[in-house]
Structure 1
Amino acid sequence: MAEQQKSERFQQGMATRRSVLGDRYVDQATKAKTGFDEPFQDLITEAAWGHVWSRPHWSKRERSMVTIALLAALGHHDEVAMHVRATANTGATKEDLMEAMMHVAIYAGVPAANHAIKIVKATLQQMDDAQTLEEET
C-alpha cells in the first residue's frame, strides 16, 4: 500500500520518524522492506512514531534520552547506536546521554550501562568524524 493511502496516524508517524532518524535512514529502511516485514514497519511507524513519539507532552529531546536509556537497559545495542545518531535531530546532548547512562547504571545495572557507554562513545566518535570529514570537503 502506498504511503499516501495509509492512515493519518501512519502519516504523522512517518513525519516524526523522518524528523528524528533523518530522511536518509528512513529512505533506506523503506527501500529494504519486503512484503514479509511491511506489516511490522507499518506497526512501528504508526505505534512508536505516530502515537508515542508524536505525543505533545515531551519534547523529542526528552523522548530521545528516555528511549536511549531503555534500549541500553534492555541490551538493544544496535538500537542504542541508531538513537544516539538521532540525537543530531532531537537536541539531546552528550551530557544528556551521560545522565541517561548514569540512570541505566543505577536502575538497570552497571554492566548494562558500561556496555552502552562503549556504544554511545563509539557512535559519537563516528558522528564527530563524519562531521569533520564533511567540513573538510
Structure 2
Amino acid sequence: MSENRYEVGMKTRRSVLGDAHVDRASANVTEIDAGFQRYITENVWNGVWTSDAFTKRERSIVTIALLAGLGHEEELAMHIRATLNTGATREDIREVLMHVAVYAGVPTANTAFRIAKQTYAEIDAAAKGE
C-alpha cells in the first residue's frame, strides 16, 4: 500500500524542519487549526516540497527570500534553522538577503539579517552545548 498525501507530506516536513520542531507543532494542534495543519502537510509539504523541479536547497532559498520579503519573521527564523537539513549555506542566505534588499527594500533586509544573525547565534550556541 502506498503512503497517502498526509504521510508523505509529514515525512517531507520532518526532513526539512526536523522531528523536534514538527513534534512541538503537532502537540500544539487544536480543533481550530487541525484542518489547516492537515492542508499544509498534504499540499505544501507533499505537493510543493516533493516536486522534482527544485532541490530542497533551492526551495529553502526561495522560501527564505519570500518570507524575508514579506516580513514573516517567525517563519523566516524557522526556515533559516531548516537550512541545516536542506543544504542551503550561510553564504546562500547572505546572498538571498542581499536580493531581498534590492527587491523588497533595505529596511526589510535589515530585519531579515538581524533574524538570520540571531538564529545562527542560537544554532552555534546549541552546537557548543551552551
- The number of aligned residues is 128
- Say yes or no: does 1:108 pair with 2:99: no
Q: State the one-letter code of the partner of 1:56.
A: D
Question: Deviation digits for residues 15-56 of structure 1, max 9, x if unmatched?
Answer: 100000001110111111011110010011111111011111
- Say yes or no: does 1:45 pair with 2:36: no
Alpha-carbon distance in 1 for matches of 2:8, 2:96: 27
- Report the TM-score, using the length of structure 2 for normalisation: 0.95
User: Which residue of the partner structure matches residue 83 of structure 2?
Assistant: 87
Q: RMSD of the TM alignment (CA)?
A: 1.1
- Report the TM-score, using the length of structure 1 for normalisation: 0.90
Q: State the one-letter code of the partner of 1:109.
A: G
Gaps of 5+ in 1: 1-6
Gaps of 5+ in 2: none
Which of 22, 35, 51 does residue 26 from structure 1 map onto? 22
- Say yes or no: does 1:56 pair with 2:57: no
Alpha-carbon distance in 2 for matches of 1:12, 1:104: 32
Q: State the one-letter code of the partner of 2:69.
A: A
- Say yes or no: does 1:16 pair with 2:12: yes
Aligned-residue offset at 1:88: 0.6
Question: Deviation digits for residues 66-114 of structure 1, max 9, x if unmatched?
Answer: 1001000000000000000101100110000001001111111111111
Runs (4 or more) in structure 1 with deviation over 3 Å come to none
Aligned-residue offset at 1:12: 1.2
